[in-house]
Amino acid sequence: MAIEAIKVHDLSKHFGEIIAVNNLSFDVMQGEICALLGGNGAGKTTTISMLLGLLIPSSGAINVLGSNMLLDRYRVLPRINFSSPYVDLPKRLTARENLMVYAKLYGVNNPKKRVESLSSDLVIDQFLDRPFGELSSGQKTRVSLAKSLLNNPDLLFLDEPTASLDPDTADWIRSYLIRYQRNYGATILLASHNMAEVERMCDNVVMMRDGSIVDRASPKALLTKYGRNNLEEVFLDIARGHTKNGEVQMGDSQ
Residues binding other proteins (CB under 8 A): 13, 15, 45-46, 49, 52-56, 72, 74-75, 77-82, 84, 86-94, 97, 100-102, 104-109, 114, 131, 147, 150-152
Is residue 202 within 8 Å of residue 195, measured between CB atoms? no
> Is the torsion defined by CA of 247, 249, 253, 254 positive or negative?
negative
Q: Which amino acid is at 163?
A: A
User: Minimum Å distance from CB 216 to other proteins?
Assistant: 25
User: Minimum Å distance from CB 104 to other proteins?
Assistant: 4
User: Minimum Å distance from CB 107 to other proteins?
Assistant: 4
CA angle 192, 74, 19 (to 5 degrees): 45
User: Minimum Å distance from CB 88 to other proteins?
Assistant: 4
Task: For residues 229 and 207, give the distance between their C-alpha atoms in angstroms, rounded to a whole number.
Answer: 17
Which of residues 115 and 195 has its CB atom nearest to other proteins in the complex?
115
User: Minimum Å distance from CB 53 to other proteins?
Assistant: 7
Which of residues 34 and 100 has its CB atom nearest to other proteins in the complex?
100
Which of residues 19 and 223 has its CB atom nearest to other proteins in the complex?
19
Which of residues 68 and 243 has its CB atom nearest to other proteins in the complex?
68
221: Cβ–Cβ under 8 A, 6 or more apart, which residues? none
Which of residues 148 and 192 has its CB atom nearest to other proteins in the complex?
148
Task: For residues 91 and 108, give the distance between their C-alpha atoms in angstroms, rounded to a whole number.
Answer: 23
Q: Quick one: which of 121, 54, 131 has its CA closest to 95?
A: 131
